[in-house]
Amino acid sequence: MQHPLFTTPPVPHHFCGCQIDHRPQFLQSVVSIDQVDTWFSDLTAHLKWQQDRIHLFGREHLIPRLNAWYGDQGTDFAYSGIPLKAEQWTNTLTEIRRLLEEHLEVQLNSVLANLYRNGLDKMGWHSDDEKQMCPKSPIVSVNFGASRKMQFKPKDQTNTERLSLLLEHGDLVVMYPPTQEVTKHCIPMMKKVVEPRINLTFRRHRQ
């Protein structure tokens, strides 16, 4: 795949002493618009989507989205008590991973894929600070489909700063350390959204 020399510039946000870069339509600037749409269809149709259950206050709940976990050998993962066995990379995930590694000069070995079926699906406040993750590596996420808000808040509850990004088809977000150490993020419900959205959150896992 041949990449252009210039891509959309990052919009850096400095939040709670952390850098969070948002690059609107990054994917369309490095591959064709058709390719981004083809990836979206392929991910929707071919990832091994599942709806996990979590235990909260003694009750079992279905999580309000579908997800799938892919990674190199040795990157099995667990979050909120849900064990995720790494599936083998699909061709589409491999292409996107290589493109991000090349453009951002980072090494990524795993990805959590999230499918929000419509605006009722969401993700609550959390940080990606699991012990299995390399704390020095950024977390890199790309977005397909419906536009959804991503919100950030400090872990320090006395700090009232907030950051909200509107993430659209093809957008890239890079969360540099120590974002996971000092902030939380979430994808709130947006009831008017009827279209699906896929987010791929690439990480570097300790192996």
Ligand X SMILES: O=C(O)CCC(=O)C(=O)O
- Residues in touch with ligand X (CB under 6 A): 112, 114, 123, 128, 141, 150, 185, 187, 199, 201
Separation CA 38–CA 53 (nearest Å)? 30
Q: What single DSSP character describes residue 37?
A: H
Among 117, 111, 107, 36, which residue's Cα sits nearest to residue 68?
111
Q: How far is the CB of 113 from ligand X (least distance, A)?
A: 8
Report H helices in 105-178.
none
Q: Are 156 and 164 in contact (CB under 8 A)?
A: no
Cα torsion through 195, 25, 93, 183, rounded to 10: -80
- Please state the closest distance from residue 112 (CB atom) to ligand X, in A: 5
Residue in 114, 126, 138 with CA at minimum distance from that of residue 204: 138
Q: What are the tokens at 162? A: 């907030």
Nearest residue to ligand X, by Cβ distance, number only: 199
- By C-beta, is 3 or 181 nearer to ligand X? 181
Strands (E) across 63-171 are located at 66-71, 77-79, 82-84, 110-116, 123-126, 139-145, 148-154, 163-167
Nearer to ligand X, 101 or 128 (CB): 128
* Smallest separation (angstroms) from ligand X to the CB of 203: 9
- What residues contact 72, with CB distance under 8 A and at least 6 apart? 86, 89, 109, 110, 205, 207
Nearer to ligand X, 3 or 72 (CB): 72
Question: Least distance to ligand X from the beta carbon of 23, Å?
Answer: 14
Closer CB to ligand X, residue 30 or residue 69? 69
Nearest approach, Cβ of residue 4 and ligand X (Å): 25
C-beta closer to ligand X: residue 31 or 175: 175
Closest separation in Å from C-beta 45 to ligand X: 19
User: Which residue, 32 or 56, is less far from ligand X as judged by CB?
Assistant: 56
